[in-house]
Copies of this chain bind each other. A is one copy, B any other.
Amino acid sequence: MTETYRRIVLAGRPDGAVQPEHFRIETGDVPRPEEGQVLVRNHFLSLDPYMRGRMNDSKSYAAPQPLGETMIGATVGAVVESRSPKFAAGDIVVGMYGWSEYGCSDGAGLMKVDTSHVAESAYLGVAGMPGMTGWYGLNKVIEPKAGETIVVSAASGAVGGVVGQLAKIAGCRAVGIAGGPEKCAYVVDQLGFDACVDYKAAPDRETLARRLKDATPDGVDGYFENVGGVVMNTVLARLNPFARVAVCGLISGYDDAGGAAPIERPGQFLVSRFKMQGFIVSDHLPLWPQGLKELATHVATGRLKYRETIARGIAAAPEAFIGLLKGRNFGKQLVDLS
């Protein structure tokens, strides 16, 4: 008897908003590992904004996701059969097996993780690539100094939550921007930010600017950008001299063929002499062991909190991804594949 498994492939490229029909579920036989290979049953799939860029056929920092192939994505799961000396059945491993219930490979890029004090799903979030993204952007681009004010957009998300909590650990004032009272309350009450501005509650830009000003009485020294658009332009106008802006994402423009809204006032670069720098965490692999170790330690000791939104079953992945692009998730968006 041959077992089957399911995976999701890219069925079409969106011209604007992502729709369910851009994905297709496929069923195949569970592969048998060859000599040197491992077979992994994936427990969780990570959904992340970067996937949206891969769905386009345009030049970017990474090659486009090919049509008809398994959607890219990070996974965590258990080795069920190993013909590699490096892995044993039962090992919990993080990999890039994509939107798929199973993965089979020679183990390159596969990382064994210790789940004794950190839940396996956390290795896809706060102690994984999203956490590392926050760690790198904050520590290596913003370089916070104690007493400074650090603002992060999408503050309740997987990356944003890490940025603010690490900023607090560094002795900074941490201010979030998030959509809705529930997310803002979580950012302040659970994650320990000093303040959070609800951008959805501001009826116009002037109100948003005033609320940001109230939350940042000493101005903004560091800004971790996840969203772009109006939020970005509002924060840029509030930067102190010599501020640093880490551009991690511009999700507000990902579904728009024109991309994120412009930076309206480049003259601010001269008024505030700030630095704005885009980064991709995968450019900095040599720093991952250090960063991931710090993050896992913070998680294990309870200094780094996180929240997950978990969709059940692989068939739910497309809707969950569409929800992520619209900000419907709350914390790290995962799909439970078990």
Is residue A77 contacting chain B, with contact meaning CB distance below 8 A?
no
**In the complex, what's the smallest C-beta–C-beta distance from A221 to chain B, in angstroms?**
15
Let me know if A266 and B232 touch, CB within 8 A. yes
Let me know if A269 and B247 touch, CB within 8 A. yes
Is residue A263 contacting chain B, with contact meaning CB distance below 8 A?
yes
Q: Interface on A for B, CB 8 Å cutoff?
A: 53, 59-61, 228, 232, 241, 247, 249-250, 253, 259-280, 283
Let me know if A247 and B271 touch, CB within 8 A. no
Partner among B232, B266, B270 whose Cβ is within 8 Å of the Cβ of A280: B270
Q: Which residue of B lies closest to A279 (CB)?
A: B273
Q: Which residue of B lies closest to A274 (CB)?
A: B278
**In the complex, what's the smallest C-beta–C-beta distance from A222 to chain B, in angstroms?**
14
Expressed in whole angstroms, the Cα–Cα distance for A318 and B276 within the complex equals 36
Give the chain B neighbours of A270 by CB distance below 8 A. 53, 60-61, 247, 249-250, 278, 280
Let me know if A61 and B269 touch, CB within 8 A. no
Let me know if B265 and A273 touch, CB within 8 A. no
Expressed in whole angstroms, the Cα–Cα distance for A152 and B117 within the complex equals 53
Expressed in whole angstroms, the Cα–Cα distance for A298 and B24 within the complex equals 65
Let me know if B61 and A241 touch, CB within 8 A. yes
Give the chain B neighbours of A269 by CB distance below 8 A. 247, 250, 276-278
Once A250-B267, A266-B232 are accepted as A-B contacts, the answer to whether A61 and B259 lie under 8 Å apart by CB is no
Q: Can you list 19 pairs linking A and B with CB atoms under 8 Å apart?
A: A61-B270, A61-B272, A61-B273, A228-B266, A232-B266, A249-B270, A250-B266, A250-B270, A253-B266, A253-B267, A262-B265, A262-B266, A263-B263, A268-B278, A271-B278, A272-B278, A273-B280, A274-B277, A275-B275
Give the chain B neighbours of A283 by CB distance below 8 A. 273
Give the chain B neighbours of A271 by CB distance below 8 A. 59-61, 278
**In the complex, what's the smallest C-beta–C-beta distance from A231 to chain B, in angstroms?**
12
Once A270-B278, A273-B283, A275-B276 are accepted as A-B contacts, the answer to whether A262 and B264 lie under 8 Å apart by CB is yes
Expressed in whole angstroms, the Cα–Cα distance for A228 and B268 within the complex equals 12
Q: Which residue of B lies closest to A262 (CB)?
A: B262
Q: Which residue of B lies closest to A267 (CB)?
A: B259
Once A61-B241, A241-B61 are accepted as A-B contacts, the answer to whether A273 and B277 lie under 8 Å apart by CB is yes
Let me know if A263 and B266 touch, CB within 8 A. yes
By Cβ-Cβ distance, the 4 closest A-B pairs, closest first, are: A269-B278, A262-B262, A263-B263, A275-B277
Interface centre among A59, A265, A266, A268 (most CB of B within 10 A): A266
